[in-house]
Each structure stands twice: as C-alpha cells, then as structure tokens.
C-alpha cells in the first residue's frame, strides 16, 4: 500500500510539474515570467551595439556587455523597438506555431557566433530575415519574450491568422502528454 501511495504522490508531482512548465500553445497568453520582455530587450535590442561586422569590436562588446555563455547571439537595431514589438500584434505578425509569431516583413539584424566560454568570435553576419518571436502577454500587452532562429528563411503563411487574432474567444490550454493522461486514472483509482 505504501508503494501505491508513493506512486500516487509521484504521479501528482509530475502532473503539477507538467502544468507549471507547460509552454503556451498560442501567442499572447499570459507569461509565466514577469521579466521575460526585459530579458528579451537585454539580449536582442541593446543600445550601443556595433553597427559593423568587425569581429574585434564584437568580441569586445560581447565580453563587456552580454557574456560568453551563449554561442549564438542576434542583435536587432534598438531603433526598431516598436516594429519588433508589433510582430506580436495582428498588424505586424502572423501566427507561426505554438506561441511563435513570424513578422510580416523581414528585419535586418546582426548574428554573432562565438566559441562557448571563450568569447572567441567565429563569425559576425548581417542578416535580413523574417523574425520568429515567442509572444506572451505581460501587463495586458502582448510582447516578444524569445527570439527563435530562422535558419530556413521562413516567411509568413498568407493564410495564417494575425498574431493576436488567434486568441479571440479562446482560452489557454495545455498540451496533453501520455504522462499527464496516465496520471489521471492513477489519481482516480488510488485517490480514495
């Protein structure tokens, strides 16, 4: 009986963890992290970023400002802030998948690739691509919280809904997994 209680407890814990760690399955749902937009700004729209692809300038900038722990870092022009935020709206973006929106227009940005932990710059490239951003609701405003790579140069689907249009009349939902589904009968059977 003790092992059944332990199994029940484990299933309940796993179910609660799954709920707490669930990724939003659509854009503009409430964010689980209050500081997500500020982190996005700090990582991708920093003032003072070099406007050149000079590796020496970028190595110095990365060492002094962002740290060497991320091997790929992309930097947008801080002057594009309002247009970047608009990607999370129906006017500036279309739903891509899950909580991701893709910009209606391409943006210019710089991608810096470095050796992990060393800050040695492998490449600095100016790119022109449609942005793919995770968009979540913070203080009643849908804002970008994550910059997703776009290595295949994807463009928005003309038939996709606008970024914020996907939420009209719908409630947030969690994706179900086999573990989540397994925990429900266990709770019902052994919960008494």
Q: How many CA atoms lie within 13 A of 16 on its CB side?
A: 7
Write down the residue that tokens 């247009």 correspond to. 83
- 12 in a domain, yes or no? no
Residues of the chain whose pLDDT is less than 50?
A: 1, 4, 6-21, 166-188
Query: Looking up tokens 């722990």, which residue turns up?
Result: 69
- Does some domain include residue 166? yes
Residue 180 lies in a domain: no
Any residues with CB less than 8 A from the CB of 14 and at least 6 apart, and which?
Answer: 179, 183
Asked if residue 10 is part of any domain, the answer here is no
In a domain, 50, yes or no: yes
Model's pTM, two decimal places?
Answer: 0.75
Is 101 within the bounds of a domain? yes
Task: For residue range 71-126, list pLDDT tens digits in order.
Answer: 999 999 999 999 999 999 999 999 999 999 999 999 999 999 999 878 899 999 99
Would residue 147 count as lying in a domain? Answer: yes
In a domain, 89, yes or no: yes
User: Which two three-digit tokens encode residue 90?
Assistant: 């129906």
Residue 143: is it exposed, middle or buried by C-beta count within 10 angstroms (0-12/13-18/19+)?
A: buried
- How many domains, the chain? 1
Query: Measured between alpha carbons, how far is residue 138 from residues 37, 76, 184 in Å?
Result: 8, 21, 31
- What three-state secondary structure class fits 34? coil
Report pLDDT for 189: 52
Residue 132: HSE in the Cβ half-sphere, 13 Å Cα cutoff: 15
Q: Looking at residue 144, which CATH number applies to its domain?
A: 3.10.130.10
Residue range(s) defining the domain that contains residue 127: 30-170
């Amino acid at each position: 009986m003790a092992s059944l209680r332990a199994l029940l407890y484990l299933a309940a814990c796993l179910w609660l963890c799954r709920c707490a760690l669930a990724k939003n399955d659509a854009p503009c749902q409430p964010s689980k992290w209050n500081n997500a937009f500020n982190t996005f700004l700090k990582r991708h729209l920093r003032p003072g970023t070099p406007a050149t692809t000079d590796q020496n300038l970028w190595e110095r900038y990365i060492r002094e400002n962002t740290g060497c722990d991320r091997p790929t870092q992309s930097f947008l022009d801080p002057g594009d802030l309002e247009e970047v935020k608009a990607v999370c709206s129906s006017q500036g973006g279309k739903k891509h998948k899950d909580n991701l929106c893709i910009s209606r227009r391409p943006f210019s940005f710089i991608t810096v690739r470095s050796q992990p932990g060393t800050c040695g710059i492998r490449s600095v490239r100016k790119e022109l691509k449609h942005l793919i951003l995770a968009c979540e609701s913070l203080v009643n405003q849908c804002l970008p919280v994550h910059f997703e790579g776009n290595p295949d140069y994807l463009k928005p689907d003309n038939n996709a809904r606008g970024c914020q249009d996907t939420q009209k009349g719908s409630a947030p939902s969690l994706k179900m997994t086999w573990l989540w589904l397994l925990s429900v009968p266990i709770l019902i059977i052994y919960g008494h």
